[in-house]
Amino acid sequence: FTSSIDQALAVMNGEFTNRISRVSEKSLLGRIFKEHRAADDRIKELYLALLFREPQAAELQRALEFVNSGGPTQRNFEDLMFALLMTTEFATNH
């Protein structure tokens, strides 16, 4: 998978990416927040939705440490989703 610098910047900074990586009533994260209360369940759902697999044990541990830093806030989950959207694994799966 390759992309130009312009394409990469458009994906990273574009309105679409910004909109889908936020918790809102109609977003993926909004649904996950509504259906799951535990942080580890939310992380597993994100991985399944974006990468079509559950996180490996080390990935889950790192993600839990991140989302729980300063309390499991919506913003931390939004940042985690953005990071997953920027992975090569996501780009090659979609």
Q: Residue 1: its pLDDT value, please?
A: 52
| Whole-prediction pTM | 0.79
How many angstroms separate the CA atoms of 76 and 30, rounded? 13
Q: What is the mean pLDDT of the chain?
A: 84
Q: Backbone dihedral region of 27: left (phi > 0), alpha (psi from -120 to 50 degrees) or beta? A: beta
Residue type, 68: N
pLDDT of residue 24: 76
Which DSSP category does 55 fall into? P
What's the gap between Cα 64 and its chain centre? 13
Whole-number pLDDT of residue 64: 96
Per residue in 3-46, pLDDT tens? 676 665 555 566 656 666 677 788 899 999 999 999 999 999 99
- Residue-by-residue DSSP string for 45-87: HHHHHHHSSPPPHHHHHHHHHHHTTTS--HHHHHHHHHHHHTS
Least confident of 10-14, 48-52, 74-78, 84-88: 10-14
- Report the pLDDT value the prediction gives residue 42, as an integer from 0 to 100: 96
Is 51 a residue whose pLDDT tops 70? yes
27 phi/psi in degrees, rounded to 5: -90, 165
